[in-house]
Structure 1
């Protein structure tokens, strides 16, 4: 039996779907499941992990946040006591702060694998860029930096392989998409796929923090743009191909599929969004 911590998230639900398609018994772990899993309530961990042989672990909002390594150390001890043998951790590519969280898993005594990723394609259709895309304007503090956006489906395929197949123990899978894209490039790709103009308008970090706060979101999210602006992830990797024997999905293919789903259709005036 496999536990997927963050089973309602972008990669978690895809991993769960893939495991079920292979005939595996899957338990999703989140604050809305039964048994409930809550990172901030350690008493929920053991019931969620009971009977599992392996776990896919995601942490929201970010592994690099203070206190997360200690939390993961405690989680892994609970998992080991519950009989879990293998943990696959979703981590951030180029995030020094996330390395300490990875190290907590490596030291746990469990069989482990790490899947490191940069920005997801699905951030534009399932996350914080969805409403800006619908509105037709991406206003973010990314300047002219480039990023090799990776598809959540590829991440899920690699994570599922690491959970179920031999040869992944002790491996760090560093994933990316097949090419570098600026946000101007992204806006053009989205416009072509959606059949209407979607523009990119760079803003300052202060302007973006103010917008986050107006929306009730943590201003710390603006710090994630440092991973783009300093160029640390401005290169493609062969991680997907090495893990799966195939090329990663291109952003244009993702954009066409998302457009067909209707997710970017403008919301009529007065209709609820989100």
Structure 2
């Protein structure tokens, strides 16, 4: 079974692809730089990427909460059905109405589907747009200090690979979180302990965040979308735990403290 991994060079996708390759599962990377290439903004690239594929891991870029995502997922799902794909695994967002709309599209497709619905990634602090903030020692975001059940991307990848390669996961919606709720102040404290230096969390306005992010090279349209996502999702709606990792894998989810200790080198200034 050839598996297409969309977003195969991203945080979750590259981990999914590596795990599939280790299991000797034929993998096709879905990215603009792959051959054949795949580009969410160019639907002409979709059919060649899906040709001969049995299963697809769907990680939408930049996020299912962004405008146009639902229409793209609807078009991709219909094409997957026509192309003979048998199994879809969707990376979804917890507490995002547009993401849930995308989930319903796949659930109605007639294919074997699995939804992997996740909270905010721990790896945003070590591999994503918050890395520079941690290196600078100040995490400044336009959100109240609400609790969030941050989830480890390695847990997400393990669940996705199980759904792509094993029986018993079709028709399941796994809601993945870490094992405890943390505010951003709590996160800063965990990162301080792991790195041995002081890291603080500072709430800012959306305008202040945009100014700082653009100064660090984040594209203006992405900053605007992130501000909208912060306002929509980081309002306390996700301040509860789920046991999706335990359900899917039979083991507990990874704790943020373990993640922070394991990634301490990422926050060491050269």
TM-score, normalising length from structure 1?
A: 0.93
Counterpart in 1 of 2:133?
132
Within 5 Å, which residues of 2 pair with 1:82-231? 82-214=83-215, 215=217, 216-217=219-220, 218=222, 219-227=224-232, 229-231=234-236
Q: Are 1:147 and 1:182, in contact at CA under 8 Å, matched by a contact in 2? A: yes
Counterpart in 2 of 1:272?
none
- Aligned-partner Cα distance in 2 for 1:87–1:229: 28
- Partner of 2:113, secondary structure, is strand
Q: Are 1:52 and 1:84, in contact at CA under 8 Å, matched by a contact in 2? A: yes
Q: Deviations over 1:46-71 (max 9, x none)?
A: 11111111000011111122322221
1:257 aligns with 2:258: no
Q: Are 2:65 and 2:229, in contact at CA under 8 Å, matched by a contact in 1? A: no
- Partner of 1:201, secondary structure, is strand
- Aligned-partner Cα distance in 1 for 2:232–2:126: 21
Q: Are 1:5 and 1:12, in contact at CA under 8 Å, matched by a contact in 2? A: yes
Per mean C-alpha deviation after superposition, the further-off stretch among 161-170 and 207-216 is 207-216
Alignment partner of 2:250 out of 237, 241, 245? 245
- Aligned-partner Cα distance in 1 for 2:174–2:240: 15
Q: Are 2:70 and 2:98, in contact at CA under 8 Å, matched by a contact in 1? A: no
Counterpart in 1 of 2:18?
17
- Aligned-partner Cα distance in 1 for 2:177–2:102: 21
Counterpart in 2 of 1:270?
none
- Aligned-partner Cα distance in 1 for 2:163–2:51: 20
**Structure 1 residue 100: deviation in Å?**
1.4
- Aligned-partner Cα distance in 2 for 1:202–1:71: 34
- Aligned-partner Cα distance in 2 for 1:183–1:135: 16
- Aligned-partner Cα distance in 2 for 1:229–1:162: 28
**Structure 1 residue 96: deviation in Å?**
1.0
Q: Are 1:64 and 1:101, in contact at CA under 8 Å, matched by a contact in 2? A: no
Q: Are 1:136 and 1:198, in contact at CA under 8 Å, matched by a contact in 2? A: yes
**Structure 1 residue 89: deviation in Å?**
0.4
Distance change in 2, residues 1:54/1:182 (3 Å)? same
Alignment partner of 1:266 out of 256, 264, 269? 269
- Partner of 2:269, secondary structure, is coil
Unaligned residue ranges in structure 2 (runs of 5+): none
**Structure 1 residue 211: deviation in Å?**
2.7
Q: Are 1:146 and 1:228, in contact at CA under 8 Å, matched by a contact in 2? A: no
CA RMSD of aligned residues (A): 1.3
Q: Deviations over 1:40-97 (max 9, x none)?
A: 1111111111111100001111112232222111111222222211000000001112
Per mean C-alpha deviation after superposition, the further-off stretch among 72-81 and 242-251 is 72-81
1:74 aligns with 2:79: no
Point out 4+ residue stretches in structure 1 off by more than 6 angstroms. Answer: none
